[in-house]
Chains A and B, each alone.
Chain A
Amino acid sequence: MDTPSVNSHKLRQQYPQKHNHYKFSEFFQFNRVEGTIADWNGSRNILTSEDFIIGLLEGLEEEVGAASAAVMYSIGVEWGKQDSLFFDQWFEREYNTKPQQANLMFLLETWWWPFTAQGWGRWEIDMADRQQGFMFINLFDSAVARTLGDVGKPVCYLYAGLYAGFFTEMVRKQLSCIEIQCYSMGETYCKFLLGAKERIDAAAFWLNEGATATDIEKRLRSGDPL
């Protein structure tokens, strides 16, 4: 992630205490002279087309075959870890509060808002099962799934890795994530399961055996042996 400088966003310099800054014209700053796009937090952005996403995924698949899913997941994990460090900085700078002391839902929504502004989709966190050590993330308008369309299998490995990496860093526990329902399977939205590795491995096994997201949810809630 390229983070040139927090001072590169002029509107931010003008209104440092403004929090509702996710309007397209406010969140992004287009520098025509340098040919760069910086967002409110000073992160460098690039615009890509759907063709780029298709090219990236298909090119990778051609190169490494079925391992492309694992590669995308690993890229996502690294991205999530890096982004958690970056988020730590800008959250504290903007709200004068350490992430560890903030209201969790507020913190997580604040983390995801830039992603929404960048076109990665909206999300919804389902923490109803947190006492059992797992949680669900519903993603609407996944950039990857929306681009690939209905291909009959989950495709959002990058997102799964992103969530795994981010939450691993934030909660200081090794977590994994799997997409158990995807827009590219004909569903209306994508659903991710986040939890400890053994639980995610079990979900992956059930998914390979043909279980649906609802089946997996039921088995997890009933405490099925992993």
Chain B
Amino acid sequence: MMIDPNMQHNQTPQQAKTVEIVSVSDFFEQINWYGKNLADADGLMLESAAYGTVGHFFSTFPWRGSTSTLPSDNVRTDSDSEVFSIEEDDTLTLEDLSALF
């Protein structure tokens, strides 16, 4: 079947109004990659946060489901390697694993 691009499909005048076409690159440009001037549902303005590193970006995620702090509260200025401790805290270590077998 040939499709007429100008076909109106029984549209009402309101439905017939032009739909804004956004290209993929436009779409990605609209994303607020740097987290600037974001307003949350309560109208609070989040602090402008330019994420210098991937580590900073992920440190702003509320991983534990906590909503008591704004994501920008968690932004740290130290380096990637300092954001994540590889040493034991309250997590398993090899010795814990050994004890289980």
Give chain B nearest CB distance to A97 CB in angstroms: 6
Give chain B nearest CB distance to A125 CB in angstroms: 10
Q: A17-B81, A131-B100 are in contact. Are A106 and B94 (CB under 8 A)?
A: no
Residue ID in chain A nearest B99 by CB atoms: A171
> Which one of B86, B100, B101 lies within 8 Å of A102 (CB-CB)?
B86
CA separation between A99 and B88, bound complex, in Å? 10
* Contacting residues, chain A, for B3 (C-beta < 8 A): none
CA separation between A208 and B54, bound complex, in Å? 48
> Which one of A104, A175, A195 lies within 8 Å of B94 (CB-CB)?
A104
> Which one of B86, B89, B92, B101 lies within 8 Å of A175 (CB-CB)?
B101
Contact of A46 with B by CB under 8 A: no
Contact of B20 with A by CB under 8 A: no
Q: Which of A108-158 contact B (CB under 8 A)?
A: 127, 130-131, 133
Question: Chain A interface residue count: which class?
Answer: 20 to 34
Contact of B82 with A by CB under 8 A: no
Contact of A32 with B by CB under 8 A: no
Give chain A nearest CB distance to B82 CB in angstroms: 12
Number of A-B residue pairs at CB separation under 8 A? 55
CA separation between A17 and B82, bound complex, in Å? 13
Tell me if B88 and A102 are in contact (CB < 8 A).
yes
> Which one of B87, B96, B101 lies within 8 Å of A97 (CB-CB)?
B87
Tell me if B94 and A171 are in contact (CB < 8 A).
yes
* Contacting residues, chain A, for B14 (C-beta < 8 A): none
> Which one of A17, A95, A97, A104 lies within 8 Å of B92 (CB-CB)?
A104
* Contacting residues, chain A, for B91 (C-beta < 8 A): 103-105
Tell me if A171 and B98 are in contact (CB < 8 A).
yes
Contact of B7 with A by CB under 8 A: no
Tell me if B81 and A103 are in contact (CB < 8 A).
no
* Contacting residues, chain A, for B81 (C-beta < 8 A): 17, 19
Give chain A nearest CB distance to B7 CB in angstroms: 44
Residue ID in chain B nearest A134 by CB atoms: B101
CA separation between A173 and B94, bound complex, in Å? 11
Where the two chains meet, the residues of A that have a C-beta atom closer than 8 Å to any C-beta of B are: 17, 19, 95, 97, 99-107, 127, 130-131, 133, 170-173, 175, 195-196
